[in-house]
Amino acid sequence: MKLIVALGNPGLKYEKTKHNTGFMALDHYLDEKGLRLDRDKFTALYAKEKVAGEDVIFMEPQTYMNESGRAVGAAAKFFKIDPSDILVIHDDMDMPIAKLRIRAGGKSGGHNGIKSIIACLGTDKFNRLKIGIRHPDKQSVVSWVLTPFNPDQQKELEASFAKVDQIIDDFIAGKDAQYLMNRYN
């Protein structure tokens, strides 16, 4: 069983902000597959689906970013999912807008959602799909991540979602992190 988690903040106020890039990417995938998050448990919206013969949990925690680990930890424990079968999709300020990078484990890189997941899982040995949102030039970090993309940035981001869809499909098909990094990084 796989657990694919997208990070963001709940509510209309945050819907199109840079910090919700993970939610946007997973929503695109679900729309393409005709799936929807139809369950509410673990302080998250989630769906349990069969994709390419594999049981998959798709999840968007409904806590704020800093407490994302509560939902991920509870679902991983409930469904008995090994951390190596978890893929977390999130924004990353240290990369250009829409650049994608896969990482297997490691520190949080200052991302509070990832810090929370590491704390709640008790390990950093889970997979990440990072989507670049660029570091702010003159704004504070908090202001930057909580503002929407401009139209050109939004187009770049949306163009990257087809590749995100491929990465998710490959992860579900059992491709390991090394394969994904070699193919997509």
Give the per-residue pLDDT at 143: 87
Give the per-residue pLDDT at 138: 82
Q: Looking at the predicted structure, is the pLDDT value of residue 137 above 90? A: no
Rounded Cα distance, 36 and 46, in Å: 8
Length of the chain measured in residues: 185
Q: Looking at the predicted structure, is the pLDDT value of residue 136 above 90? A: no
Residue 21's pLDDT band, with cuts at 50, 70 and 90, is very high
Give the per-residue pLDDT at 142: 85
- Burial code (b: 16+ CB inside 10 Å, e: under 16) for 61-90 equals bbbbbebbbbbbbbbbeebebebebbbbbb
Give the per-residue pLDDT at 141: 86
Give the per-residue pLDDT at 132: 97
Assigned token pair, 112: 């509070």
Q: Looking at the predicted structure, is the pLDDT value of residue 110 above 90? A: no
User: Residues 6 or more apart from 53 whose CB is under 8 A from it?
Assistant: none
Give the per-residue pLDDT at 121: 97
Give the per-residue pLDDT at 139: 82
How confident is the model over 152-182, as pLDDT tens digits? 999 999 999 999 999 999 999 999 999 999 9
Give the per-residue pLDDT at 42: 96
Look up the pTM and report it.
Answer: 0.96
Percent of the chain whose predicted confidence (pLDDT) is above 70:
100
Q: What separation in angstroms does the CA of 78 have from each of 66, 156, 168?
A: 21, 37, 22
Q: Looking at residues 113-139, what average pLDDT do you find?
A: 94
Which residue numbers are catalytic?
Answer: 19
Q: Looking at the predicted structure, is the pLDDT value of residue 69 above 90? A: yes
